[in-house]
Structure 1
C-alpha cells in the first residue's frame, strides 16, 4: 500500500513538473499570436524592397504596426494646374512599387487621398479621391483587382499637421499608399470608411425596403 502511494506521488510530481515546464512557452505563444508573427515577417521582407523601389524619389516610407505606408507629397507629385494629374517624375517609383506588389497575390494596397482644410468639405473629398484614383490607376495597370486594391478620398479628415501655416497645409496635402497583407485588407480599409456615406447608404436601403412594402 505504501509502495502504491509512493509510486502515485512520484507520478504526480512528474506530471506537475512537466506541466510547469510547458507553461512558459505556451503562455509566450498566447501573448504573441501567429498572425503577429506573420505580419512581422511580411514587414521585414517588404520594407527593404520598397526602400529600393523608392530610392531617389521624394516619397516617404513609414512602418506602422502591420502596415507599410508610402506617402507622396501632393506639391511635388501632382500637376498644380490639374489637381488629379500625376507629374511624370512620380510614375517611375509608383510603377516599381506596383510591379513589386503585382507578383505577390498575398499583398493588398489601400490608396488614401488627403487634402488641407482650404475649401469646402465636398471639394476636398472630391480632389483627394481624384488624386487617390490617379495613383490607384497605376496599380490597376499592373493587374491589381478590387480584391487587392481600394481607394478612399478622406479630404481634410486626417491631417498630419495644423492647417494654420503654409508648411502645415503642404504636409496635409498628400496621397498615402498602404501596403498590407491581403488577409487584413477589409479590416484595415474599414478604419477609413466615411461614416456619412455609410449612414446615407443605410438610409437609402431602408427607404427602398419601405417602398417595396
Structure 2
C-alpha cells in the first residue's frame, strides 16, 4: 500500500514537472517576436537608417533578421590615433543613434573587426576599442546599456582574403548591427563562437548573403 502511494506521488511530480516545462516553453516562445514581425519592423526601419547615413561612406546591408551599418576604418578613424573617430563620422553615427534610442524594441550590437596583420591579441584589442568608440556615441544619445552590446572580434570574421591591401582594408571595419532587443543576447552568442578558418568564414558569409536575398 505504501509502495503504491509512493509510486503515485512520483508520477504526480513527474506530470507536474512536465506540465511546468511545457508552460515555460510556451512562455519563452510567446516572449520571442515572430520572424514575420521582425521582418516587418526591418522593412519599416531600413529606409530610415539609409536616410540617416545618406552622404556618408557608411554602408547599409540587410542580413536575414538584422540591419548592418558598416563603417570602414579608412575615413572613419584618425590614422594617427587608431581608435579615435574623425569628426566627419559623428553626424551619421549620431543620427542612427537618435533613431534607435527612440524605438525601445530595437537593440544594437557593435562589432569591431581587424585584418590579420600583426599579433592576434593586439588586433582583437584594437577592434574592441574601435567598437567602443561607436558605443560611446550611442550612450551619449541616451541608449540604455541593456540595449547596447559591444565586442571586438579581431580578424576572426573577414569580409575578404587578407592577402592584398584591398582585402585587408575591407576587413578593417566596425559593424553596427540593429536587431530586435529580444534577440540581442542570442546574436552576441552567435558572434562569440570559436573562430573558423578564414576560408570557411568567407564561405559562410557568402551563404548568409545568398539567404538574405
TM-score bracket relative to the smaller structure = 0.7 to 0.9
SS of residue matched to 1:147: helix
Give the corresponding residue for 1:161.
Answer: 160
TM-score by length of 1: 0.75
SS of residue matched to 2:150: strand
Counterparts in 2 of 1:34 and 1:73: CA distance versus 1, 3 Å: closer
SS of residue matched to 1:155: coil
Q: What residue ranges of structure 1 are gaps of 5+ in the alignment?
A: 1-32, 197-213
- Give aligned pairs, total: 164
What displacement does 1:65 show? 0.3
Distance 1:135 1:83 in 2: 13
Give the corresponding residue for 1:137.
Answer: 136
Runs of 4+ in 1 over 2 A off after TM superposition: none
Counterparts in 2 of 1:146 and 1:194: CA distance versus 1, 3 Å: farther
1:44 equivalenced with 2:48 (yes/no): no
Distance 1:194 1:78 in 2: 27
SS of residue matched to 1:70: strand
Give the corresponding residue for 1:113.
Answer: 112
What RMSD in Å do the two structures reach over aligned CA positions? 1.5
**1:30-179 correspondence runs (5 A):** 35-179=34-178
Q: What residue ranges of structure 2 are gaps of 5+ in the alignment?
A: 1-31, 196-213
TM-score by length of 2: 0.75
Distance 1:143 1:182 in 2: 16
* CA-to-aligned-CA distance 1:82-107 (integer Å, 9 cap, x gap): 01100001000000000000101110
Distance 1:195 1:145 in 2: 29
SS of residue matched to 2:81: coil
